[in-house]
Structure 1
Amino acid sequence: MSDSSWSDRIVGERMTVDQEFSSRIQSSEFSNQQWSLVMTATTFEIENPDDPERARMVANTDQVDQIIPELENVQAGMGAMAGESGGSSSGGGIVDSIKGALGLGGGDDDHEAQLKEAERLTQEYADELQARLESNGRWDAVREAAADEE
């Protein structure tokens, strides 16, 4: 086994994909700060790393569900900094926030939609990252390093 994990070896490619992916985030329902939280809760894995034909980078979003409620706090904080009032056209307001915190609001549907969007976007990101590694001729080395770590 090597000194660093395969994921440590692809930091440069991730930075490039981050920049290229920013336009997709801007057209999504997530702000940049919200996307950063989603990415912090996401890990990337290589499925079937010993099989060159079936190896695939995947986004593991198991932890994202835990940060979904925080996404609303980030958005609320951004609105407050921009001088928005507490009652936005999307509902909002302190009563809705309290209801949501108590699990009494209609937030579960919103949370499920945000989770699905996060899962979709993080997998698109993983696909882009794999494509970048393939185009740079680094995919096989990264895949093999991941297989060695198993």
Structure 2
Amino acid sequence: MTEEWTNRVVGERMAVDQEFNDRVTGSEFSNQEWSLIMSATKYTIDDPENPDGASIVVDRDATNLEAIMPELENIQEQMGALGGAGGGKSDVGGNKGSLFDGVKSALGLGGGGSSDEDYAARAETARELAGEYGRELQNHLEAKGRWEEVCAIAAAEDASGGTAAESASDDGDERLDDAP
């Protein structure tokens, strides 16, 4: 599915990104880690045919946050080597380790690294934060009066197998991110 509706709300997502930044800063993730998490996260609208009951959710089938956990760990290790720049409170693997551990890890000789359980726990925390972001985006769209239109686009996509965004907007509606 192309999820055309997500392309139609780019401007709204930028506004929500600004509003959500404090929540990210207060989380265990740095801004760089959050950016990677959001790149790996796909959203969908459950029940778009019924805007009153519809909701933006993390698409569990299309989002594999566990797969990016090693890269999040690399980001954290690089930030630690640079003095922890970037925000967030991540403590990958439950301990900071020594400088020697960091050097060994950077050389691929061990010295740290997280277990699969650590990755699974961090992935679940990332998924929960991404879910909060989705709810925040939905609240923003509702406040701007755009939620029903977004649901109509998503419903048209679902009905046509993911290519009907044009049919949802053929009635002359302007693009969501261009609307006042």
SS in structure 1 opposite 2:9? helix
**Alignment partners' CA distance in 2, 1:74 and 1:16:** 26
Q: For structure 2, which runs of at least 5 residues remain unmatched after alignment?
A: 85-94, 159-180
- TM-score for both structures, normalised by structure 1: 0.83
Contact 2:45 2:154 in 1 (8 A): yes
Contact 1:100 1:107 in 2 (8 A): no
Deviation (angstroms), 1:100: 7.8
Q: Where does residue 5 of structure 1 map in the other structure?
A: 4
- TM-score for both structures, normalised by structure 2: 0.70
Q: Which has the higher helix share?
A: 1
- Structure 1's 108 and 91: CA in aligned 2 closer, same or farther, altered over 3 A? farther
Q: For structure 1, which runs of at least 5 residues remain unmatched after alignment?
A: 84-88
Give the counterpart letter for 1:90 in structure 2.
K
State which of 131, 143, 159 in structure 2 corresponds to 1:123. Answer: 131
Give the counterpart letter for 2:66 in structure 1.
D
What is the aligned length?
140
Structure 2 residue 65 is matched with structure 1 residue 64: yes
**Alignment partners' CA distance in 2, 1:37 and 1:107:** 20
**Could you say what the CA RMSD is over the residues aligned between the two structures, in angstroms?**
2.4
**Alignment partners' CA distance in 2, 1:24 and 1:135:** 20
Give the counterpart letter for 1:18 in structure 2.
D
- The 5 A counterparts of 1:1-150 are 5-61=4-60, 62-82=63-83, 90-91=96-97, 93-94=101-102, 98-99=109-110, 107-150=115-158
